[in-house]
Structure 1
Amino acid sequence: MIRLFVLSIFVLAVNGDYCYNDVVQSCGAIGGAIGNCNSNYSAVHTVQPDLQHYTATHIDQNFQFLLMSAYFNNYEANREGFSKLYRQMADDAWEDTIDLIKYMAKRGFNMNYNIVPRKKVKIQSYKMYELSSLATALDMQKVLAEQAHEIHSEVTVRKKRYHDAETINFIEKEFVGKHADRIRDLAGHANDLHQLIADNKDPSLAIYLFDEHLKKVLA
């Protein structure tokens, strides 16, 4: 009876989707496939498309911030502080992109570079005023934060099919707090600048001093 029970367990194991089963079945066969021998486990597959779109948004924003930085660094705008701010945000977006691609590789799938971001802040012209640029940057950061929350909520479900503790930890550790800090900083910059130029007939001096402040803070 015991032998029969053990044999039944062995048969179930062999019929399951396991790496060991693939290896056993491919033994003796030239070029046998071992498709289950990968690092894909738990429910990461449920958010694979979302992680790829999240990464695509980071890539897209990297280029957007670079263009914003380039505009404020030209001879016409001449706002070195704003240029530094957006260059830093472009670099942050690129570093986060690399972290996301590495994480996806660790979990057993690759980035699809043909994906277009599901949601993005459309910029009609990169020749923008200082306050409107801060508002645009704030909206862009909120898009990233909302996408991170959506991914987190999808894998937080307790059902086995959807729950993925590693993705929860990754999103919380690498992005949730970071997005909150960036949004707070940008909202603060936007409100501070608005107060400086509100009801000011000649706001150029106030904008210049604010730009100098950014330049020193980001040095």
Structure 2
Amino acid sequence: MEDQRPQSDSKQPLPFSPLVEQAIELSAQWHDRTYRKSRWRDEPFEVPDDEYLKVPVVSHVTSVAMIVQRAGWDDETVAAAFLHDVIEDENRWEARFRYENLSDLMGASVAELVREVSEEKLDASGRNRPWRDRKIGYIERLRNASDGAVAISVADKLHNLWTINKSLKNGVDVFSRGRMRKALQGDPDQQRWFFNEIHSIAEQRDDPRLNAMRSRLKEEMTRFDVLTGK
């Protein structure tokens, strides 16, 4: 039977990639009606009084994938960036995407990149693991991950931290609950520790495509220190 999975155009970049297109579709389907913890921009248009515009998760994964693509990474890495949260995060029906299913749909290379940047949020009994334990496990996995996985991780943390900084600058206290807002689990010092660890791992890699990403993350780390009074 013919393999129906899309093939990567990474060896000869073309204007259109079926692999990336399928990753976009799958990511949008999985994250449908799931949202980011908070919003810092004003509402761009009027909504009914009893409604509130939230930020779709797909806007985050798209931003991460665009950072990866603009840095010059191949189609498989860009596809994995679009999918980087599908194993880690539940969908709106509280289901979890299995690695084996992702590999069948997108190929082993893309699935492995996603696995390398996925936190293990649940323990053996199915209960949520503590925030710091999850982050320690993530850091240890990333130390041994591929350069492509490190690129996705840096892009992910860059967009997360940029969003945190924009929120803080606009008076949104992301560390406390508010109207239609979930608080970040890690306090400023814990967040600082985590971002420093990711940056340190990226500094140990020689791939030149990481240089600009790493520098931009460092800029946001410095901005975070100022905004949190460090």
TM-score of the two chains, using structure 1 as the length reference = 0.30
Give the structure with higher Rg (CA): 1
Which is bigger in relative contact order (C-alpha 8 A, separation at least 6)? 1
Q: Which has the higher helix share?
A: 1
